[in-house]
Chains A and B, each alone.
Chain A
Amino acid sequence: MSGYGIEDLVYILPIVFLLVWALVLVLVEAFTKRPDVTMLLAAFGLLAAVTLSVIQFGTEATAFKEMLTVDGYAVFVYMLVLASGLLSLGLAYDYNRRMGWARGEYYILMLFSIAGAMLMASAANLIVVFLALELLSIPLYVMAAFVPNDASSEEAGLKYFLLGAFAGGFVLYGVALIYGATGATNLMDVVAAALGTNSPVMLLTGAALILVGLGFKVALVPFHMWTPDVYQGAPTPVTAYMAVVAKAGGFAALFRVFIAAFPSVSADLTPVIATLVVLTLVVGNVAALAQKNIKRMLAYSSISHAGFLMMAFVTYGSALYADAVTSLLFYLLAFTVTSFGSWAVVIALEKAEGKGLDFEDYAGLGKKYPMLSAAMLVFLLSFAGVPPTLGFAGKFFLFRTVLEAGYAWLAIVGVIMSLVSAFYYLRVVRFMYFEQGDPEVRSEPVLNLVTAITVVGTIFLFLFSGPLLAWASEAVLALI
């Protein structure tokens, strides 16, 4: 009757499974009240979803009346955020127990949020983009404020919530204007309608509003200002989670929407995007230089990485957009692995909620915990883009794409800014290796596992940049 078939569900099986699994976990948590059980089940659910995504690879289809597109691009992001979810579970498990507020709902909310990010990567309709954004964000607001009776965590939660809802309003109004300009919210119909007009200022305004709203989510300057505060105040595993998954979801949607729906206005938007990139790179990196708290420093560093990711975006309207998406996905992968690793080290050193997070607390780490500090060194080098790390490969491919597109000046800005970034990363190295101190680290099995996986990934995956890049480039083909 309705024109839906079982295949609609099958196409988005990873998401469907994850959401249903979250429902099951709600019941499990309600009846067992065992956070560790919920965590294990959540991990299982994520693994199952990864498996389903692997099976999904190669699918090219639209589902639910063109509300969703399932293609290589979407599945790449699925795997990325699902893997991020697994790593986040690893980070949160020990931390939450150590801090004494382990609750099963945490993992359930995370599953909802991951489903939101996956929907963002697949969304082929602006209204779905908006809803998915909310599904991604609302659990995040709660998770940021998860620490009971902690002023910082609650402040972070409220700040994130108010600004997030504010930015959500921009996205929504943008969708409304695009609907007004084209009579459609479906990406295909929008692009078809947009092609008929030669200077669609209302469409442009709508696109700009969406850019602002999603730019807020991925922390582009000047919409970034929540980032350092929220990253600092939120519990560290949540920070690690949102630094990656919110970015991945935001960028995934941003790219799909802009490449699929707004290619006709790319000439107008590209200068805006380039300006945002430069602002983001400069502000993120320069502000990071002045930080003394590692969480704030990493927050600014993640802002600067948003700038790098956005860099690929300047080519979105040209024939090189496929290369741009490839570099974006690859850089996102590199950022994910490195970011989780560095946060794992931060968590290992965090004594109590909010304690042990200053650079001084890292003094003497190199002597006392050579393995941990070596891991941190690898992550920082990867952040800075030094070979042989994944971060280097990411930057390399990215800059090359930008150069190919004729934005040599932008690539130069990028290179200069990655040099600047080396200074604040190396400051941490200096504290770890050249300062005297007596840091205290808890060795927790799951956390160590995450550190080990990410450090191996940072270097090992680098050696397989070629095949990974090939994978990412295949992921691109079915975007539109």
Chain B
Amino acid sequence: MVAIEYYVILSAILFTLGIVGVLIRRNAIVIFMSIELMLNSANLAFIAFARQYNELNGQVFVFFVMTVAAAEVAVGLALMVTIFRTKHSIDVDQLSSLKG
């Protein structure tokens, strides 16, 4: 069996990649996917730790996170559709009229 550390480090890598994705992509939908990747990496950590502690709490948390992700997707995609209707683009760099 592989040590739990490896799983946690994998989850840290995925978490970081998710963060970097948020920072470097302009497409709002891809940014959002990167956030999903962040949540997913947390899920991996939860499952790994659940295995470590031999308890199912960590697995149950993953359920909740998935629900939250689903809820965010519903709202987020709706927002993006609306923005696209108004601005005909989902480039976040073009959403910079509010500043200063």
Contact = CB atoms under 8 A, between A and B. Distances in A.
Given A151-B86, A158-B28, A233 B46 contact: no
A465 B77 CA distance: 47
A118 to B, nearest CB: 18
Given A127-B61, A155-B83, A232-B98, A138 B31 contact: no
B50 to A, nearest CB: 8
Contacts of B97: 151-152, 155
Contacts of B41: 173
Contacts of A156: 98
Interface string A141-174: 1100100011110111111011001101100110
A360 interface: no
A223 to B, nearest CB: 14
Given A131-B68, A173-B41, A158 B49 contact: no
B28 A185 contact: no
B49 A179 contact: yes
B2 interface: no
A370 interface: no
B85 to A, nearest CB: 8
A154 B79 contact: yes
Given A127-B61, A130-B68, A169-B39, A154 B82 contact: yes
A134 interface: yes
A183 interface: yes
A74 interface: no
A179 B38 contact: no
A166 B79 contact: no
B95 interface: yes
A141 to B, nearest CB: 6
Interface string A103-131: 00000000000000000000000010011
A177 interface: yes
B17 to A, nearest CB: 12
Contacts of A130: 64, 68
Nearest to A229: B98
B57 A185 contact: yes
Give the secondary structure class of B's interface.
helix
A296 B48 CA distance: 44
Contacts of B19: 166, 169
Contacts of B11: 176
A384 to B, nearest CB: 23
Nearest to A186: B57
A177 B45 contact: yes
A180 interface: yes
B49 A180 contact: yes
B79 A176 contact: no
A141 B38 contact: no
Interface centre among A138, A154, A176 (most CB of B within 10 A): A176
A213 to B, nearest CB: 11
Interface residues of A, number: 40
A227 to B, nearest CB: 11
A356 interface: no
Interface string A368-386: 0000000000000000000
A130 B68 CA distance: 9
A149 B11 CA distance: 40
Nearest to B4: A180
B72 A173 contact: no
A85 interface: no
Contact of B28 (A162, A175, A291): A162
Contacts of B52: 180, 183
B99 A229 contact: yes
B100 A228 contact: yes
A14 B24 CA distance: 44
B92 interface: yes
B32 A165 contact: yes
B61 A185 contact: yes
Nearest to A145: B79
Interface string A314-332: 0000000000000000000
Given A179-B46, A180-B45, A233-B98, A165 B82 contact: no
B65 interface: yes
Given A154-B82, A228-B100, A165 B61 contact: no
B75 A138 contact: yes
Nearest to B43: A176
Contact of A145 (B15, B22, B82): B82
Interface in B31-70: 31-32, 35, 38-39, 41-42, 45-46, 48-49, 52-53, 55, 57-58, 61, 64-65, 68
Interface string B72-100: 10011001101100110000100101111
B42 A173 contact: yes
Given A131-B64, A138-B71, A158-B80, 19 more contacts: A141-B76, A150-B86, A154-B82, A155-B97, A157-B79, A159-B98, A162-B35, A162-B76, A165-B35, A168-B39, A172-B39, A173-B15, A176-B61, A177-B45, A179-B58, A180-B48, A228-B98, A229-B99, A291-B100
Ranked 10 nearest A-B pairs via Cβ? A169-B38, A229-B98, A176-B45, A180-B49, A172-B42, A183-B53, A155-B95, A176-B42, A173-B42, A165-B35
